[in-house]
A and B are shown apart, each in its own frame.
Chain A
Amino acid sequence: MESMSETTHHGYATYWRIWGWLLGMTLLALGVGYVDAMPGGLKALLLVGITLAKVAIIGAYYMHLRSEKLDLILITFTPIVLAMILFFFMVPDAGDTATRIMTLR
């Protein structure tokens, strides 16, 4: 219901502001992706960081998670946690090329 009061009190300015942030972060990610001089590990770290930040603000503002109960918010973390477990369990199977995950391109 907080979403309703939010739109009543502030119009849709919040949504447009978030849109601006999302576009800004998209352009930032694009810039990071095409800086050839940047080490692969740093590039990967920055892109993961920007991606998670974008997902967090879409979830919090557009999907209204910030006004949901903590139980529901915690449930939405399960795919990220399980994906990380899957990722790190598969890294050793990539053998001696595993480190290339962090030094792509």
Chain B
Amino acid sequence: MEATVGEQERILASPWGGGTNPFGTSWGKFMMWVFIVSDALTFAGFIVAYGFMRATAPAWPAQDEVFSMGLITFMTFALISSSCVMAIAVGAAPQGRRSEAVKYLWLTILGGTIFLGSQAYEWAHFIDEGYRPWFNPVMPEVPQFPAAFYVMTGFHGFHVFTGLVLLLYTVIRAHMGKYTGDRVEIAGLYWHFIDVVWVFIFAFFYLL
């Protein structure tokens, strides 16, 4: 019995004994990480499905003939820059530098809005040219191409939109003085995740 009691004490004293944070984070931040991991699996499924479709397709269009790579590079620049200023906002918030955090949060929102606006422009152009999720006007034998484009960039764009809503909520709360460094960091984690997903889409869909 004594050994059992000792074992119980050992467990209770461990990080998993209850009453502590085994991952060393707040619950909100940890839940955001759990969400990011599960959401990354969704995008991993898309990317693998895209690879499969592309490997089995009879041909594949040259991306630089379909898309404006200057625009895509500019969009990437906007998103990477917004990630950088978001990181600065996350650094300023817990130190009580509210006006600085707010300023960089607005810059992040600006970067995200530029990205989303550019994507809307790209979609409008693509739709104008007759591309549909089930039809490729240039290479009718490869409808997988526009399908992959709409699904991957569409889901990513929706995430950017959701991220902008989250950032607006965060910055409005910050203006009202009702914010904590932890909340800004949680919004930041989501925003950086959007950047990570775009890094994959940029390389695998637009460049490979």
List chain A residues, Cβ under 8 A from B44. Answer: 79-80, 82-83, 86
Determine if B203 and A104 form an interchain contact, defined as CB atoms under 8 angstroms apart: no
Bound CA span A31–B84, Å: 23
Interface of A is mostly: helix
Minimal beta-carbon separation of A76 from chain B (angstroms)? 6
Determine if B62 and A105 form an interchain contact, defined as CB atoms under 8 angstroms apart: yes
**A39 at interface, CB cutoff 8 A:** no
Determine if B48 and A87 form an interchain contact, defined as CB atoms under 8 angstroms apart: yes
List chain A residues, Cβ under 8 A from B94. Answer: 4
List chain B residues, Cβ under 8 A from A47. Answer: 203-204, 207-208
Determine if A94 and B55 form an interchain contact, defined as CB atoms under 8 angstroms apart: yes
B 71-115 contacts with A by CB, 8 A: 73, 76-77, 80-81, 83-84, 86-88, 90-92, 94-95
Checking B41, B87, B207 against A62 with a beta-carbon cut-off of 8 angstroms, the contacting residue is B87
User: How many CB-defined contacts (below 8 Å) exist between A and B?
Assistant: 146
Bound CA span A58–B25, Å: 19
Mark the stretch among B134-142, B146-154, B163-171, B191-199 that contacts chain A: B191-199
User: By the criterion of a CB under 8 Å from any partner CB, how many residues of chain A are at the interface?
Assistant: 57
A 47-95 contacts with B by CB, 8 A: 47-48, 50-51, 54-55, 58-59, 61-64, 68-69, 71-72, 75-76, 78-80, 82-83, 86-87, 90-91, 93-95
Minimal beta-carbon separation of A5 from chain B (angstroms)? 10
Interface residues of A (CB under 8 A from B): 3-4, 6-8, 12, 15-16, 18-19, 22-23, 26-27, 29-30, 32-34, 43-44, 47-48, 50-51, 54-55, 58-59, 61-64, 68-69, 71-72, 75-76, 78-80, 82-83, 86-87, 90-91, 93-95, 97-98, 100-101, 104-105
